[in-house]
Amino acid sequence: AEAAVRAARASAVLDGGALQIAEDGEPDPVLAGALRVSEALEGGATTLVGVWQRAPLQALARLHSLAAADLTDDEHLGRPRADPDVGLRLELLAGLLTGGSRVPAPVLAAVAHGELLTLAPFGSADGVVARGVARLVTIATGLDPHGLGVPEVYWMRRSGDYRAAARGFASGTPDGLAAWLVLHCTGLHAGAREALQIAAGASG
């Protein structure tokens, strides 16, 4: 639970949301959405992970419905923007994620994360969704089967580098892609270390 909450709070901050729940109890809509996404993935063996393995676009729509429930009208939840390029690129990404590539899991997670940040397919909560998908990939591939890592905290602490690297990925240049892969994978490593610290604190 602690890892899921930390991941949600950090992901919310990266999308301009609050780090903490307000004392007056008024929920920040970005943080509330990020918490719903983390809850849906907590522990790894969730219904959403099963859907992801069979139909990633369906899982993507569900993630957006959770992330953006307080940010947009109901008719827009889970519905990508009406742009042919968006639909085509999502189909290509889905093919890649369901066996169209033999790249290592950390690279696959980085590509999915970067592509969704670049594409911003929904027009709301796209960052929270992209980071949720990165987490889904690490769970579904067995890299982090229980979803215990907290890479979002590393990316939040280096938000300037994170955004610059995302722009580099979007540029499509070799240097830009390499910088994004390095930052993403460094985040996964740092997130694993943070998970160990959480576990040590819980057992101590």
CATH number at residue 144: 1.10.3290
Spatial distance between the Cα atoms of 105 and 19, rounded to a whole number of angstroms: 29
pLDDT digits (tens, 9 = 90+) for 49-87: 889 988 999 999 999 999 999 999 999 999 999 998 999
What is the share, in percent, of the chain residues with pLDDT greater than 90?
79
Q: In angstroms, what is the C-alpha Rg of the chain? A: 16
Give mean pLDDT, residues 34-48: 87
Angstrom distances, CA of residue 118 to CA of 96, 105, 134, 163, 191: 16, 20, 14, 11, 23
pLDDT of 45: 66
Q: What is the mean pLDDT of residues 159-166?
A: 98
Report how far residue 139's alpha carbon sits from residue 80's, in angstroms, rounded to the nearest whole number: 24
The boundaries of the domain holding residue 15 are 2-203
Angstrom distance (rounded) from CA 135 to CA 149: 9
Lowest mean pLDDT among 7-11, 26-30, 64-68: 26-30
Question: Torsion angle, CA of 126/63/6/178, rounded to 10 degrees?
Answer: -50
Q: Among 200, 195, 197, which residue's Cα sits nearest to residue 152?
A: 195
Q: In whole angstroms, what is the distance from residue 24 CA to residue 85 CA?
A: 43
Cα dihedral 129, 130, 131, 133 sign? positive
Average pLDDT over residues 13-38: 87
Query: Model confidence at 47, in pLDDT bands (50, 70, 90)?
Result: confident
Geometric angle at alpha carbon 5, from 108 and 77, rounded to 5°: 65
- The token pair that represents 50 in the structure block: 């099963």
Domain count for the chain, please give it.
1
Quick: pLDDT tens for 86-138.
999 999 999 988 876 788 999 999 999 999 999 999 999 999 999 999 999 99
pLDDT at 100: 67
The mean predicted confidence, pLDDT, of the chain is 92
Is residue 170 helix, strand or coil?
A: helix
Angle separating helix axes 47-54 and 29-41, nearest 10 degrees: 80
User: Could you tell me if residue 53 is left (phi over 0), alpha (psi between -120 and 50 degrees) or otherwise beta?
Assistant: alpha
In this predicted model, what pLDDT tens digit does every residue of 180-190 receive, in sequence order?
A: 999 999 999 99
pTM, whole model, 2 decimals?
0.93
Residue 25 has pLDDT above 90, yes or no: no
